[in-house]
Chain A
């Protein structure tokens, strides 16, 4: 099959690509906009902002989410902040510097043109969110406050206490609810997308299951936007919310949308360590804590003393030692790997030996407890609730955990997938972050895509495309509905002996062990033998009680785990093929003194996988990445 990867990067200098595109894009006249319908799947930052702005423009929008309310989308949990090149601090920030930092932070595996646009619209995002009432932190003079964040040497992060994601999501959600009131957005909650309907090669609708009644519904539209988030829950234990799944994106993949860089997952360095076998998820502690917290382990192997009893000269502040210019603010992949090395050396703390200290004693001495509590109070309380330890009195314990996923459905510059009319926004697409997303940039991308990119690019598609009228009585809808019903009845009829969670946990162990913070050929090959076996057992032995005709949580989970079992295998294959280390993707065979060793000669590309059918190997396509502005260089944070 022909390679469909045309990135559609506009010509001209990087600074004017987006301006030029906006002018070149076809427009849809206001009277015609209301004749077009658009489906938005997912209502987090990207989905809600897309639905709100498309509704504002006059399109008929239908928004879907698995949650009871769009306000519960997982964007709500982001803590630390959102980046924008405002240079309010007069510390030398600029669109170009944010662009530069993001390309470098992504270890030269993101598309330059997309990243530049992201940096360019970042300032508009802050204006937009402030105008709609997001209560960002302020200075006494009334101007906005900023703080610094991992991987950056300027203060460009805007924040709302430790609840930035919540406030941004509530902002985008309320703008969407305003459109619901205005009648331009129709909201369907507790619906899960279970298939994409493609007619004449174009995305024309979706099949969803009403999670309360079990009904299978068909919805048609002129274009579909998937903004369904990331897939870290493939690891079972991750910082993602319980309902985060790959299902919507995966079903689209099976209908022809390529899946790019699936092995690029981000391991977040500051999570509360695992406490036991029955743990359901990992809780993130905001990266902003590293502004004031100092990371250390005891110098001596097996030093089990209480942290407060270990004198200063017997502590190893390893990030400050190894990376003097970035210190505790080293990028996420670097900080995560260093924590793992220290624990592998036997200097980890906690009973499990899988934790390091994040110590605020110096900051409290310097700034006073009140200042620290003003900055991070809610995070400290959360830590105390979960662990039963007071972080004002003794250091926190942290360990890395799967967090964000940089892989996702492949999209071109217009955020359009390899299926015409299927657009993908936010974490669900692969773009902008390369191999290692920096802190505070996910929120930025979600809102950039929804508020400032899709309204233009989607209009261009509708203006340029002749769309026949389709209805849900069309054969393609009937066939897709039938397929969904078949799969549900197959799952319900297995009536085996193992719970859904037991499969999910086993998959998670395989993924963390062989496709987690470090990967190597031997391990990945092992995983590629184990996962198909586990998948086979799943389809023969999973047990789902109850019926499919009403709310059935086990059935919902089973559908998601079935998709994770397929995605997991693709992640391992992608990791195996990428014979280099880049950013958060660390192939142990390719390193120099523990630092990632990229191979720009052979792997300076995006790998996008094409689904070719059940039990058939996916085909790997590549999109070459050209670095014309930020020249390829080895990242160094020393």
Chain B
């Protein structure tokens, strides 16, 4: 597979820390193998920086198999770069042309403060999950897995929503920095399964409230999120979330405050 090489100019966002003012810096990437991934190209640039005693470009990455959701930044205005349904770690250099100039910057959103260079803090997404993105099921006493049948179509659709990797590209691609696609994927996953029914309304209300509290913007259904999503999470999830939220609100009951007799 040893093939051609390319030379590129990179305009990379450098920012020392959350409080520093960042800016673009020009760097050269030389003799990049077209078989290398985008992150391997950055690794090589970083090796040169370190050899000169400069600090390498900080970026999040881990599994490099497109599944952990750690990687991701914006290349030429597109979250995860130009390939459809591809994370940056799975983006290969054969998709770029020799001599090109690429602009690389972090995912930008108020709820994703920059940590350093291309690395942002996405813990707001974890807080949305802890507000209800689960089924309350203590360990050790679950009924036999086949005691509850799930139609294949429902299981498949739940799986398609559950496959979200939480990378935050949807937020970065949205002009309002909305986390609706992420939140709705989790709400859908659980609303589609029988196990998720008991807490369905509570979940929708709590997760939407948590999303708003984190400072994510509102969804105006432009679909930029769906276009940028490396896992092809669909916009229909957002419609489902809106429906879940609406139904939950119009049918909500006051919580029972009676305690049990002791």
Contact = CB atoms under 8 A, between A and B. Distances in A.
B162 A167 contact: yes
A163 B66 CA distance: 11
Contacts of A551: 17, 58, 115-116, 119
A88 B65 CA distance: 32
A501 interface: yes
Most buried by A among B123, B142, B190: B142
Interface stretch (B34-42, B99-107, B233-241): B34-42
A47 to B, nearest CB: 14
A543 B133 contact: no
Given A278-B43, A501-B47, A68 B33 contact: no
Interface in B50-97: 50-51, 53-56, 58, 60-70, 83, 86, 90-92, 94
Nearest to A283: B65
B221 interface: no
B130 A452 contact: no
Contacts of B83: 385
Most buried by A among B2, B65, B126, B195: B65
Contacts of B86: 385
A499 B51 contact: yes
A387 interface: yes
A178 B43 contact: no
Interface string B156-177: 1011001101100000000000
Contacts of B68: 71-74, 76-77, 241
B155 interface: yes
B181 interface: no
A77 B67 contact: yes
Interface stretch (B6-14, B146-154, B250-258): B146-154
A546 B62 contact: no
A388 B146 contact: no
B117 to A, nearest CB: 9
B261 interface: no
B166 to A, nearest CB: 6
A130 B64 contact: no
A174 interface: yes
A178 B68 CA distance: 20
A451 B141 CA distance: 11
B196 interface: yes
Contact of A127 (B66, B116, B142, B158): B142
Nearest to B149: A142
Interface size class of A (residues with CB under 8 A): 35 or more
A38 B161 CA distance: 34
Contacts of B61: 242
Contacts of B195: 130-133
A143 interface: yes
Nearest to A141: B149
B94 A388 contact: yes
Contact of B1 (A56, A135, A275): A275
Nearest to B129: A177
Contacts of A138: 150-152, 155-156
B52 to A, nearest CB: 9
Contact of B152 (A73, A140, A165, A386): A140
B145 A278 contact: no
Interface size class of B (residues with CB under 8 A): 35 or more
Contact of A69 (B2, B55, B123): B123
Given A69-B166, A136-B155, A139-B152, A278 B51 contact: no
A550 B134 contact: no
A279 B39 CA distance: 10
B220 interface: no
A351 B123 contact: no
A407 B241 CA distance: 46
A369 interface: no
A553 B33 contact: no
Given A181-B130, A350-B1, A550-B116, A166 B163 contact: yes
A74 B193 contact: no
A273 to B, nearest CB: 8
Nearest to A128: B142
A52 B139 contact: yes
Contacts of A173: 129
A382 interface: yes
Contacts of A144: 145-146
B65 A543 contact: no
Contact of A189 (B56, B60, B123): B123
A280 B62 contact: no
A133 B135 contact: yes
Contacts of B133: 174, 177
A160 B70 contact: no
Contacts of A280: 37, 39-40, 43, 64
A452 B67 contact: no
A551 B20 CA distance: 13
Most buried by A among B43, B51, B159, B166: B159
Given A71-B166, A543-B50, A553-B56, A135 B193 contact: yes
Interface string B185-221: 0000110010110000000000000000000000000
A177 B125 CA distance: 11
Given A160-B159, A177-B130, A275-B35, A76 B63 contact: yes
B137 A175 contact: yes
B14 to A, nearest CB: 12
Nearest to A160: B159
B155 A276 contact: no
B159 to A, nearest CB: 4
B122 interface: yes
A9 interface: no
Nearest to B192: A135
A161 B67 contact: no
B39 A545 contact: no
Most buried by A among B136, B139, B156: B139
Contacts of A110: none
A294 to B, nearest CB: 22
17 contacts: A52-B139, A72-B68, A77-B68, A133-B189, A138-B151, A165-B67, A167-B159, A178-B134, A181-B131, A189-B123, A280-B37, A281-B64, A455-B139, A501-B47, A543-B53, A550-B17, A554-B55
Given A68-B60, A550-B17, 8 more contacts: A72-B69, A74-B68, A133-B134, A163-B67, A166-B67, A241-B68, A280-B64, A545-B56
Interface of B: 1-2, 16-17, 33, 35-37, 39-40, 43-44, 47, 49-51, 53-56, 58, 60-70, 83, 86, 90-92, 94, 115-116, 119, 121-123, 125-126, 129-140, 142-146, 148-152, 155-156, 158-159, 162-163, 165-166, 189-190, 193, 195-196
Which A-B residue pairs are the 3 nearest by beta carbons?
A142-B149, A131-B142, A174-B134
